[in-house]
Each structure stands twice: as structure tokens, then as C-alpha cells.
Amino acid sequence: MGWYRFFRALFRVFYKVVYRWEIIGLDRIPPQGGVILCSNHISNLDPPFIATPLTRQVLFMAKEELFHVPGVSWLIKQFGAFPVKRGMSDRGALKKALEVLGEGHVLGIFPEGTRSKTGKLGEPYPGAALFALKSNAVVIPVAIIGSWIPFSSMKVVYGHPIDLSAYRDVKLTSVLVSEVSSQFMQEIQKLLDEHVN
């Protein structure tokens, strides 16, 4: 956690100096218990951008290839990242994510699985919905708004928890997972629509 705090402080300075950093809705994140931050994805700078405002540590899944890059591997591990194999079902990553949530930590996830080249939301992978339905974690939609051009305005907006009570006692099916995934994206889109200048 020592290195995490150091890099969190470093990124806070970076975002304040290089961007006009605006944080909205931080008080909507529970102070304890499992939480899923479910965000759009437009840049490699997104993970620390949604994690840095929190006092709680945020853990992320990152593509397995990054863990083989010297320097990068060490850095993302300090930020609490763990590997996931993209393009296939990764039971190890699923198990790890559920452990993170079960232990009462915060998991950051980008449902689209990769960065959007247009800034528009893409189709979600089922991971975020699976983690939510297989745990009792609180799901917070998050919107990253801005162009990432230096000295421009960048916002991170944390939405209200998504109500999943209607799905808690329902049999887990691919249709259900797809429905919940779509709901997550709709909530992110609402935040984008409400807060884009």
C-alpha cells in the first residue's frame, strides 16, 4: 500500500497540473465493503484517473501481455492490477476478481474490455455483470469525460449505485448477464449525457 499511496499522490499532482481535473460524486462510493467501479475507457490513463480520487485502493484487471513488459509489470502491480487473458474465458481472473470483492475491496473494471477509439461506448463483455451477480458488491457507474489533450478539462463522474435487487434471486443465465451488462452501459451513458459540457 506504501507504493500505491506514493503513486496516488503523484497522479493527483499530475492531473491537477496537466489537466483541469474535476471530480463529481465521490461521496457516492461506500467507505467499506466490496465495490465495482464500472467505467467507460478512452485512454491508458483511465485506470489511475478513476482510482486516484479515492482514499480506498482500487484493484484492476489488466491484459496479461502487460505483465511481461519490464517496468510496466512492476508499476501496474503496485497499482493493484492482476492479469486477465483477453478474448477467452479466464477462470483464474474471474476467481481473483470475486476474491477481491469478497474481501471487501474495490474493483475497477472497463466493461468494453478495450479503449474506445471514437469516445462512443462499445459493446460490453460479460465480466462486469458476472462479478456483480456472483457477489454482493455495490456497483458504481463511472464516466470519464474529456479529450486527454494536455491542459484541457477532464472530469471523472461517479454515479449512484445501480440497483440490482431484482436480479439477486434469479437464476444466472446468459440472457440475464446480457441484460445486466446493458444496464451498466446505459447508466454510464446517462452520466456522459448529463455531464458533457
DSSP letter for each residue of the chain: -HHHHHHHHHHHHHHHHHSEEEEE-GGGS-SSS-EEEEE---STTHHHHHHTT-SS-EEEEEEGGGGGSTTHHHHHHHTTEEEE-TTS--HHHHHHHHHHHHTT-EEEE-TTSS--SSSS--PPPSHHHHHHHTS-PEEEEEEEES---TTSEEEEEE-PPP--GGGTTSPP-HHHHHHHHHHHHHHHHHHHHHH--
Q: What does the pLDDT read at residue 142? A: 98
Any idea which of 36-45, 69-78, 124-133 has the lowest mean pLDDT? 69-78
Q: What is the pTM of this model?
A: 0.91
Quote the percentage of the chain above a pLDDT of 90: 58
pLDDT at 20 over 70: yes
Q: At 163, phi and psi to the nearest 5?
A: -80, 110
Task: Pull the grid cell for residue 49.
Answer: 484517473
Domain ranges of the chain: 2-195
Q: Radius of gyration (Cα) for the chain, nearest Å?
A: 16
Flag the least confident range among 3-7, 25-29, 104-108, 137-141: 3-7
The residue-averaged pLDDT of 99-114 equals 92
Residue 90: pLDDT above 70?
no
Residue among 108, 136, 126, 145 at smallest CA distance from 183: 126
| pLDDT of 87 strictly over 70 | no
Average pLDDT, the chain: 89
* Pick from 65, 152, 156: nearest CA to 114: 65
CA separation, residue 171 to residues 50, 127, 168, 176 (Å): 32, 17, 8, 8
What CATH fold (topology level) applies to the domain 2-195?
Answer: Glycerol-3-phosphate (1)-acyltransferase (3.40.1130)
What cell does 32 get?
467499506
Give the integer Cα–Cα distance in Å for 97 and 81.
10
In angstroms, rounded to a whole number, what is the distance separating the alpha carbons of residues 146 and 119? Answer: 9
